[in-house]
Structure 1
Amino acid sequence: MLGSLASWVAWFFLLALALKFWMEPRGYRLRSTILKLILAGLMLGAIFLSYATLKGIEPAVSFLAVLVSIKILEAHTAREFHAIVMMAWVLCLCGFLLSQDFAVAFCLFVAFALLIAALVQFHRGSSPGAFWVPLATTFKLLAQAAPVVVLLFLLFPRINTGLQLRIGDFHAAMTGFSDRLSPGGIEALANSSEIAFRAEFPDSRTGPPGPMYWRGLVMWRCEGMEWRGPYSPTAISDSSRPYPARDKAIRQRITIAPHGQRWMFALDRPVGIPSGAALARGNYLYSVRAIRKPHRYEVLSSIEPIDKELDAYERRQALQLPASITPAVRELAASWATHDSEPRAIVKSALQFFRTQGFRYSLSPGEYNKNDLEEFLFHRRTGFCEHYAASFATLMRLAGIPARVVEGYLGGEYNDLGGFFLVRQADTHAWCEVWIPENGWMRVDPTTAVAPDRAGLDLSSFLAGRVASGEMATGRSALFTRLTRLALVNQIRSIWEALNYQWDTRVLGFDADVQDVFLTSLGLTKSGPLPLAMQVLIVIFVLLIIYAGWTQLRTRRRVDRIQALYERYCQKLARIGVRRDPCEGPV
């Protein structure tokens, strides 16, 4: 929650709490109305300076946190304490609007429970058991409310966003790679731990054999060391393409994190387009809308090549070259074509060039611009995956072979507990595809000519192996490196990731479509939001009546049986004229 707010807001709130603990025993409090107005005005100005606007969820939540802080400083009566607790509950709700991550939700739930405990303790006063009794009462209250919460979650009508809410500037929320591959673009994501997506393989728990290249975007526009994707993807029909046999296809179930763009991910050669998506020229998926909430879909990928013909339009696109290519680079590509004009031989010669001419794989190769192709190939020879993919595809086009660059992800970290692969932004990768007449588009990853182990590992595992072997230095401390290698630490991390995955798919992903499937499985038909809401409210009302009756029976005073028999005896005596005076006892 605090990650999207200005850091000084949290410090101001903590400072107010500390001052309150110091002021209360001494009888001090913020009394002056003028001073409170001046303080609120100064904080409002600080919020405007921090966000450059007063509109939006972040400035509003920041201002509410400031108001709560000022209220803490002036609070003195029971009524003001109740107001602080209510405002703090509203802050918890605002925190959930800012972020629905599992860690944030857990912290907000703990804060909500502690506020209830504080309210309970406030009404108990200084009675014994000041710590455990309020917590026990809070647990009972939450346990009693849990059935109603679960019922509302499952049955109450909802809009199609589930519980995932994104309020604010969507452009600022864009993450991951862009539609422009420029030197340093992917390199900047190498240290990102943000999640790109999670993937399951329903037909094979451990995934397909071989490296996993997750296709995201195909780039056709060549500018030397810089490549660009299409401004507007051109959709192609999937109905005319041959559907692969069952044993020649890989089924994937992918839960993609919101990234603000339109591209979706699948293993190479996707078929069977998911709902709400289209297949673009270049055989990659893109969503009809920007992905701004977790999205779960299922897709098939063919193991064998699908396209066996290259039309004239794609050929022109796949051979386009900029005018800025230097003569030295042109001569290099021409030498391969002169030696052997067969496409496979040219590809082999290019890979051999990268493998034997002292090229190095590095996270910090230095700055290049789009016209530095000759500098990279003949002088510095140090780069990341985008440098090798862009230069290789350009060389192939110079040699007369249609080529394009594919941007996506490579590998993924397997989670044994959840049975899924976790792909992070750090796993962003770029590779090439070349057109071989008898085979169609063939994947070629020139990075593996320089770093052969990269294809079989996610980037974190690959870098950890290089650090362990002494081939690469690490910027982290030795203690941190040792901790990350401990089996217990990795086990805890796997458990946490599995919980996050269940939270994202089972809770945040429970949207209107999933609710329809759930209601159908129960034999209920969703006739509309209003009738379903009325049915849910009726069920909740009946449950509350049952709960109230049960509480009444539990709290009713128990009558002594002997006392009851004696009172009945006295009533019978009174009916025959023998009345007992109020002062007379049973003896």
Structure 2
Amino acid sequence: MALIQFHRGSAPGALWPPVLTACKLLAQAFPLIILLFLLFPRVTTGFRFQIAQPGSTAGGFSDRLFPGSVASLANSSNVAFHAEFPDDRIPRLAAMYWRGAVMWRGEGLEWRTPVTPASIPRSARQARKGQAIRQWIMIEPHGGRWMFALDSPSAPPSDATLVTGNYLLSDHLIRKPRRYEVISFSGISERELPPSERKKLLEVPQWISPAVRELAQSWTAAIASPRTVVNSALRFFRTQGFRYSLSPGEYKRNDLDEFLFRRRVGFCEHYAAGFATLMRLAGIPARVVVGYLGGEYNEFGGFFVVRQADAHAWCEVWLPETGWVRVDPTSVVVPERVNLGLASFLDPRATSGQTSNNAFARNLVHQPIFTMVRLAWDTLNYAWDTRVLSFDAEAQKSFVAETGIADSTPVSLIIRTLFIASALLLTYVAWMWWQTRSRRDRVKALYERFCRKTARLGARRDPWEGPSDFSNRAAHLLPNESNRIRQISSAYIALRYSAEPTPSVLDQFAREVNAFVIAPPHGSRSSGRVRRP
């Protein structure tokens, strides 16, 4: 637009002509754009890079869980990933636990993932149980290796590994949007726990206070099954006045006593870390899982949007009769967090205590019209990511194979691209030439009709006579029609030698020629020829 306006000069004019010119140029280039997009070889390495701190990511996810690490994301509306369910097997919102990483190393309220998670060989993978749920995940770049899937993922997608703890790690850092398919099952049949893993899953720090140890041992004093111990711990969190808050105050990793016995205020990471530590003290193998819970359904695009605000932490305990079982202690403190999602749960509380202006703005953006616009915009972004940005080298290879092209090497694709582009260019040039010729032929035919009319009036045009000279001579011979003769002749010269006559100007010229009907002057002969003076 700027270049078109620049070449038009500084003369004032309407806005639409340059807009129409830009649209016309874009339409002419569109076939070439599509050709290059589909066939030109993809550069897989890219040119951009980012420097990230060890163990952290741009999205806020980390290999370390500590007090405040999840709560800090609660007010972030940034998208973590989009999820589709192509088979329409959509679980309940309260069951949408998106598995991200598993923390094994517990230090009270602080937990970490293994330094080098071990991959699970295909032969060692446990049998799955429950319904298979297929998902398409479009993950946003976060600079880490975590790949999210519904609990629990089965076979990993390409360029990913299923590691101990049943979570996915990408083989490369995720620095651009990536789309992958994964199948999850609602449960894993693990009836055996190797002694080496069991030992790690029962480790607790030495500094755990006697009060915390006594609390865990009180649940095992009587002969109780592991499931009974789990229920006793959940009852403790449900009945002892624990509260859920985004701002529970500052905790350190060794403030377990402060959290369990005095303050009793925390976010999901506090409850998950505290519960897992208590389970290990009670002799039950436990670990902490971090990921996301729930999501927002986009009815325009038919997918779920999972944001950073949906980050969540929960626990898994190992029971002899069932294997690994998910336990979410947050759900017994605030069931609404699980059933409604964090945004819906926090919204009434987030507006209380704010100024009237802030409350008005928050209420305004939650109006249906704003929600509809936001969902529509997110649908466009998702379509762009899935249809354009995700068309990488692998997608291009599959497309080329489906079209029947056997050789998909970069050199072959470049040669085919050049050949098709040349054919398109030649076709376009030929079409433009034909269009111009057709219009010019019409101009010539109309002018010849005009010359036949003047010939019948006594002003015949010589074959070697140009339109300008003939116009002057005919105007002199037919003075009553001199203005119309000069007008038609000037229009013909402009049309004949212009770059590209427009249809509207051609139609106007045709009307002027057709309207040139007069009676011969008195004393002249229609069949004779008036000599030059």
Q: Where on the TM-score scale, by shorter chain, does this alignment land: which range?
A: 0.7 to 0.9
* Pairing 1:502–2:383 present: yes
| Alignment-derived partner of residue 539 in structure 1 | 420
Deviation at 1:118, TM superposition (A): 2.5
* Pairing 1:195–2:79 present: yes
Distance in 2 between residues matched to 1:501 and 1:581, nearest whole Å: 67
Deviation at 1:257, TM superposition (A): 1.1
Identical residues among aligned pairs (%): 55
8 Å contact kept, 2:57–2:144: no
Deviation at 1:550, TM superposition (A): 2.4
Alignment partner for residue 396 of structure 1, among 276, 279, 292? 279
* Pairing 1:166–2:48 present: yes
Deviation at 1:207, TM superposition (A): 4.0
Deviation at 1:370, TM superposition (A): 0.6
8 Å contact kept, 1:484–1:490: yes
Against the structure 1 CA distance between its residues 128 and 560, is the aligned structure 2 distance closer, same or farther, given a 3 Å change threshold?
farther
Deviation at 1:170, TM superposition (A): 4.8
Distance in 2 between residues matched to 1:566 and 1:410, nearest whole Å: 81
Deviations 1:416-458 (A, max 9, x none): 1111111111111110111110000111101111111111233
Q: Structure 2 matches for 1:95-494, cutoff 5 A?
A: 117-127=1-11, 129-160=13-44, 166-171=48-53, 174-204=58-88, 206-208=90-92, 210-241=94-125, 243-244=127-128, 248-464=131-347, 466=349, 477-494=358-375
Judging by fraction of residues, say which structure has more helix.
Answer: 1
| Alignment-derived partner of residue 59 in structure 1 | none
8 Å contact kept, 1:253–1:299: yes
| Alignment-derived partner of residue 571 in structure 1 | none
Distance in 2 between residues matched to 1:200 and 1:122, nearest whole Å: 46
Secondary structure of the 1:183 match is coil
Bigger shift: residues 231-240 or 532-541 = 231-240
| Alignment-derived partner of residue 111 in structure 1 | none
Deviation at 1:126, TM superposition (A): 4.3
Deviation at 1:314, TM superposition (A): 1.0
What amino acid is aligned across from residue 190 of structure 1 in structure 2?
Answer: A
What amino acid is aligned across from residue 519 of structure 1 in structure 2?
Answer: V
Deviation at 1:157, TM superposition (A): 1.1
Bigger shift: residues 311-320 or 289-298 = 289-298
Against the structure 1 CA distance between its residues 302 and 386, is the aligned structure 2 distance closer, same or farther, given a 3 Å change threshold?
same
8 Å contact kept, 1:251–1:300: yes
Bigger shift: residues 483-492 or 130-139 = 130-139
Secondary structure of the 1:367 match is coil
Secondary structure of the 1:152 match is helix
* Pairing 1:551–2:432 present: yes
| Alignment-derived partner of residue 95 in structure 1 | none
8 Å contact kept, 1:221–1:228: yes
Deviation at 1:263, TM superposition (A): 1.6
Secondary structure of the 2:221 match is helix
Distance in 2 between residues matched to 1:377 and 1:184, nearest whole Å: 16
8 Å contact kept, 2:93–2:295: no
Distance in 2 between residues matched to 1:495 and 1:580, nearest whole Å: 67
Secondary structure of the 1:520 match is helix
Deviations 1:516-567 (A, max 9, x none): 1112222223431112111111211221122223223334434432655899
Against the structure 1 CA distance between its residues 168 and 386, is the aligned structure 2 distance closer, same or farther, given a 3 Å change threshold?
closer
In our comparison, the structure showing a higher alpha carbon Rg is 2
Secondary structure of the 1:218 match is strand
* Pairing 1:561–2:462 present: no
Deviation at 1:336, TM superposition (A): 1.1
| Alignment-derived partner of residue 87 in structure 1 | none
What amino acid is aligned across from residue 345 of structure 2 in structure 1?
Answer: F
Against the structure 1 CA distance between its residues 440 and 121, is the aligned structure 2 distance closer, same or farther, given a 3 Å change threshold?
same
Against the structure 1 CA distance between its residues 244 and 406, is the aligned structure 2 distance closer, same or farther, given a 3 Å change threshold?
closer
8 Å contact kept, 2:93–2:339: no
8 Å contact kept, 1:176–1:189: yes
Distance in 2 between residues matched to 1:269 and 1:566, nearest whole Å: 84
Distance in 2 between residues matched to 1:436 and 1:234, nearest whole Å: 23
Deviation at 1:240, TM superposition (A): 3.8
Distance in 1 between residues matched to 2:167 and 2:413, nearest whole Å: 39
Where does the alignment leave 5 or more consecutive residues of structure 1 unmatched? 1-116, 569-578
Please provide the CA RMSD for this pair: 2.5
8 Å contact kept, 2:100–2:148: yes
Deviations 1:92-129 (A, max 9, x none): xxxxxxxxxxxxxxxxxxxxxxxxx2322222234453
Distance in 2 between residues matched to 1:444 and 1:411, nearest whole Å: 16
What amino acid is aligned across from residue 424 of structure 2 in structure 1?
Answer: L
Distance in 1 between residues matched to 2:37 and 2:251, nearest whole Å: 52
8 Å contact kept, 1:200–1:253: yes
Distance in 2 between residues matched to 1:195 and 1:234, nearest whole Å: 29
8 Å contact kept, 1:347–1:396: yes
Deviation at 1:237, TM superposition (A): 1.6
When the two structures are aligned, how many residues end up with a matched partner? 455
What amino acid is aligned across from residue 204 of structure 1 in structure 2?
Answer: D
Normalization by structure 2: what TM-score? Answer: 0.80
Deviation at 1:296, TM superposition (A): 1.4
What amino acid is aligned across from residue 484 of structure 1 in structure 2?
Answer: V
8 Å contact kept, 2:286–2:316: yes
Where does the alignment leave 5 or more consecutive residues of structure 2 unmatched? 453-461, 475-528
Secondary structure of the 1:239 match is helix
8 Å contact kept, 1:205–1:419: no
